[in-house]
Structure 1
């Protein structure tokens, strides 16, 4: 079983949680970062993706690489420059690692990478499986480029796993604090018509799924990283409000307002993506939080 793991994007909320779980399980963890690490239990190696710089010692003794690196999709408006940054931060980073694997002796056998349900993008009420075709907008294009870059590892004889991740529910980061803030101030409401599907997942199940894929080498290829029971935007908003004991009285935020505010990026909140979790369940993974109500109760309880 894998014991020596290199993580990119380890400073993100999922990266931190995954690192802590793996350390408790006895794994040796290294990370690639632009700055020295703060955790003395983790070896930190410096890289600069834009400059093509990477400490070649980072792969010494490593058998599994977890690729979580990538600029935040919703952090800035999608200008042409930002779009390039979003793609490059995901593709050039793994490319830098693969170039290293091609030129040095190593014992890496597996690369387990994040991807996103943005691969499917806005698909109304159609249920998306791993075999569904990608959409044609920017989010889909970004995910296709991301996955293609990761798949280059197959030419090196590596086991490749890619997780198309949904909306991760975590009160310390991601979409949930943004959704919950107006609710806490009594001005929360669904976005657009509220009927768009949200493929959510509790952060604990995200971490557990990464650990499951590390420890089960039969896990291979692409999997949707979503809970088995998706909800609509309105249902999620109502569930958060109920958990926070706040009323919902404000009218829905009109779609045209969101499009004016966010531009092309409005697809993140207005797009409807209903995603199946059947494949990862068939592979033996059991969800701790299959229902959004119990997920939110644990998060806020």
Structure 2
């Protein structure tokens, strides 16, 4: 199978690319920066620039599946201009892919888009599966809606569409977990707020396997891309501290303080939602790391 990936050099993209190449598939990837020839077999780069609408149409030759992971990081301060970039980096790039497939003969059968669990409202009691028809009317919730609408347009081309609603990705290379570890390692770690907010997460190995599972089984629609057991913020902080052999003696950080420091982006630390991957569990997917304890034992040595 030949698979085109955007965002192939990102956290998820790298892990997924390695898995696909290991499984003997061919990977085409799109990049906005100059690239060198790679010595890796079945791995080919093509240039694009969503801001200017340029794309090398050779990227889709022989491609069966398109995986769209590209988008500006949400882990930077949300100024008005950066909010615009967060939206446009996802929508313009998807629109460019749609125009390419609309205008050029191709054999693409499946379009898989990254998405986010931010679409679900905070709740102390709700359990969100893929059939939960709700939306959080915050900036991030609206961003996810636009993101998913940009994916749904590919149905007009008779292409299957999957939307991967992803929680916090745990990796020891980069991302949220690395940032959580830093203060704890320096003896200044603590939980946030009352620590009772449920956080949905997934191990980097499991997310790559789950994307591959979606490809293999041609799963359509919303896919909650999270581990089956969420973790309380305080519990997560305690597990990390235990793995690092560090004490936690500081009081939890109030929400008001983080709002002063991070502005609107502070909500990422206080999200409280129970998201379950019902669709893939019902289809037989087995997580290698179903609990935060198992995941962190693997990632923090």
Q: TM-score, normalised by structure 2?
A: 0.96
The Cα shift of 1:37 comes to 3.4
For 2:67, the equivalent position in structure 1 comes to: 66
Alignment correspondent of 2:77: 77
Shift in Å, 1:271? 1.9
**Structure 1 CA distance for aligned equivalents of residues 124 and 114 of structure 2:** 24
After superposition, where does 1:99-114 map in structure 2 within 5 Å?
Answer: 99-114=99-114
| Structure 1 residue 102, shift from structure 2 partner | 0.7
Please give the secondary structure, in 2, of the residue aligned with 1:113. strand
Shift of 1:45: 0.7
Cα deviation, residue 121, structure 1: 4.3
Other-structure match for 2:98: 98
* Distance apart, 1:231 and its partner CA: 0.8
Q: Deviations over 1:29-82 (max 9, x none)?
A: 1100011335433211111111111111111111101110000011x2112211
Rounded Cα–Cα distance in structure 2 between residues aligned with 1:182 and 1:11: 27
2:162 equivalent in structure 1: 161
Secondary structure of the corresponding residue to residue 62 of structure 2: coil
Displacement of 1:84 = 1.1
**Could you tell me how far apart the structure 1 residues matched to 2:131 and 2:35 are?**
39
Deviations 1:170-227 (A, max 9, x none): 011111011110010111000111111110111111000011111112x111110111
Q: Contact conserved, 1:122 with 1:267, CA < 8 A, in 2? A: no
2:9 to 5, 8, 11: 11
| Runs of 4+ with >4 A deviation | none
Q: Tell whether 2:152 aligns with 1:151.
A: yes
Query: Partner residue of 1:37?
Result: 35
Gaps of 5+ in 2: none
What's the counterpart of residue 268 of structure 2? 268
Note the residue ranges of structure 1 that are not aligned, 5 or more in a row. Answer: none
Superposition TM-score, scaled by structure 1 size: 0.96
Contact residue 31 and residue 43 of structure 1 kept, 8 A:
yes
Q: Write the mapping of 1:203-214 to structure 2, written as runs, cut at 5 A.
A: 203-214=204-215
State which drifts further: 118-127 or 181-190. 118-127
2:25 maps to which residue?
27
Contact residue 192 and residue 252 of structure 1 kept, 8 A = yes
Give the distance between the partners of 1:288 and 1:126, measured in 2 at CA.
26
8 Å CA contact 2:67–2:112 kept in 1: the answer is yes
Secondary structure of residue in 1 paired with 2:165: strand
Question: Deviation string for 1:153-184 (max 9, x for gaps)?
Answer: 00000011111001011011111011110010
- Residues of 2 paired with 1:221 and 1:37: CA distance? 34
- Provide the residue aligned with 1:134 in structure 2: 135
Alignment of 1:175-194 (within 5 A): 175-194=176-195
Specify the SS of the correspondent of 1:106: coil
Q: CA deviation at 1:94?
A: 1.2
Q: Answer yes or no: is 1:253 the counterpart of 2:253.
A: yes
| Alpha-carbon distance in structure 1 between the residues aligned to 2:151 and 2:222 | 11
Quick check: 1:120–1:128 contact (8 Å CA) kept in 2?
A: yes
Q: What do you get for the CA RMSD once the two structures are aligned?
A: 1.1
- What CA distance in whole angstroms lies between the structure 1 residues aligned with 2:291 and 2:209? 16
